[in-house]
Amino acid sequence: MISDVGVAAAPGSSSAGLGVGAVGAAAEAVAGVAAMQEEVGIRREGPEPDPDEPPKKRVKIPEGESGKLEERLYSVLCCTVCLDLPKASVYQCTNGHLMCAGCFIHLLADSRLKEEQATCPNCRCEISKNLCCRNLAVEKAVSELPTECTFCLKQFPRSSLERHQKEECQDRVTQCKYKRIGCPWQGPFHELPAHEGECSHPTKTGTELMGILGEMDQNHHRDMQLYNSIFSLLCYEKIGFTEVQFRPYRTDDFITRLYYETPRFTVLNQTWVLKARVNDSERNPNLSCKRTLSFQLILKSKVNSALECSFLLLKGPYDDVRIKPVIHHHSFSNDANETDYVPLPISDSVECNKLLAAKNINLRLFIFQVQK
């Protein structure tokens, strides 16, 4: 009832002049303001807001407004080089600027190629493996930020995304259990039971399966051929190995080029040298995103007869660079004492940057002399 509504009159004015219509209009205005506050989730204390207040301060918060905090954290925690959230280790310069592990190693590798001191791309302070340290707090914060599953498009914390995609996601790509007998099917995990119930491979005849298994055996044979070759080399009478250290040098040409060379070393009573070059002696390898290393083995001592050898390079005992061994063969003589440049079998440019970022490249060389 209107008689139950109390309306305070302004100072110096009389409440007797207020009619029923005016009281009803005031009550509706107060109720409207309260409803608007409740709609946008505003809790105010004290006097009611001015009805002439600009409407932009009272509009409803649009959908996705809560994601702005994540966007701000993204810009704060991202790598200063690639502007992406780090996926693994996070390094910081002495002024606190963040770099993901890949970009940090890339910067160090670039500095070696240009013979310059590596600097932070943000503040230009010096950076190195000794000056920079990991930021564990940022690594943990990044692991808690949400990210989208590439299969089901749902949001998950980065720390649990890998387990979800490998074990839990119903849309993750999986393969038929009859793959071992040649079934090529792959698809979403939730479709796997239906496919396996209708898969035709279990009903194939023995002759058909033997043909499929023959092709699979050929692929497996190619994978095992390398390891069998290494075991065969271990049967040789003369085997030598040593740790080699590549050091960077520049040519004396008008257009200088970077190359790497080891000091002379002795293996199998012969003197040798290893040389290496970046991107097949490209003039400015620091301008390339993809990096490769190739090397050659040089016999420095004189021999009375041809020296037929097999050799391969592996990672050093204290390095974490992934190198897939490849066996090379060459018949050394006084007229043919150098091998051709052959690629160092590293997996990708990231592994190459790991080598280039170091002061020296440390590898292990094996030489097997073929007995005649």
Of 65-69, 319-323, 346-350, the one with minimum mean pLDDT is: 65-69
Least confident among 250-254, 334-338, 358-362: 250-254
Phi, psi of 103 (to 5 degrees): -70, -35
CB atoms closer than 10 angstroms to residue 40? 11
When pLDDT is averaged across residues 295-317 and rounded to a whole number, the result is 91
| Three state DSSP letters for the chain | CHHHCCCCCCCCCCHHHCCHHHHHHHHHHHHHHHHHHHHHCCCCCCCCCCCCCCHHHCCCCCCCHHHHHHHHHHHHHCCCCCCCCCCCCEEECCCCCEEEHHHHHHHHHHHHHHCCCCECCCCCCECCCCCCEECHHHHHHHHHCEEECCCCCCEEEHHHHHHHHHHHCCCCEEECHHHHHCCCCEEEHHHHHHHHHHCCHHHCCHHHHHHHHHHHHHHHHHHHHHHHHHHHHCCCCEEEEEEEEEEEEECCCCCCCEEEECCCEEECCEEEEEEEEECCCCCCHHHCCCCCEEEEEEECCCCCCCEEEEEEEEECCCCCCCECCCCEEEEECCCCCECCCEECCECCHHHHHHHHHCCCEEEEEEEEECCC
Rounded Cα distance between 359 and 248, Å, is 8
Domains plus CATH for the chain? 65-144 (3.30.40.10), 208-233 (no CATH), 237-369 (2.60.210.10)
Rounded Cα distance between 90 and 136, Å, is 7
Q: What is the pLDDT of residues 176-196, one digit of tens each?
A: 988 888 888 989 999 999 998
pLDDT at 51 over 50: no
Distance of alpha carbon 161 from alpha carbon 150, whole angstroms: 10
29-38, 113-122, 243-252: range with lowest mean pLDDT: 29-38
pLDDT recorded at residue 57: 40
Q: What is the pLDDT of residues 227-258, one digit of tens each?
A: 788 888 888 889 999 999 998 888 777 767 78
What are the pLDDT digits (tens) for 265-287? Answer: 999 999 999 999 998 877 778 77
Residue 358: what residue type? A
145: closest CA among 66, 91, 73? 73
User: What's the mean per-residue pLDDT of the chain?
Assistant: 80
Cα separation, 190 vs 203, whole angstroms: 23
> Could you tell me the pLDDT band of residue 319, with boundaries at 50, 70 and 90?
confident
Residue 344 has pLDDT above 50, yes or no: yes
pLDDT exceeds cutoff 80 at 19: no
In this predicted model, what pLDDT tens digit does every residue of 142-188 receive, in sequence order?
A: 988 888 888 898 888 888 888 898 888 999 999 998 888 888 898 99
Confidence of residue 334 (pLDDT cuts 50, 70, 90): very high
Q: Per mean pLDDT, which range of 103-112, 140-149, 182-191, 200-209 is the poorest?
A: 200-209
Q: Does residue 233 or residue 41 have the better pLDDT?
A: 233
The model's confidence at residue 360, banded by pLDDT at 50, 70 and 90, is confident
Q: Residue 181: name the closest of 150, 156, 202, 195 by CA.
A: 202
Instruction: Please check the confidence at residue 36 and state whether its pLDDT lies above 70.
Output: no
Cβ atoms 174, 186 nearer than 8 A:
yes
Phi, psi of 195 (to 5 degrees): -65, -45
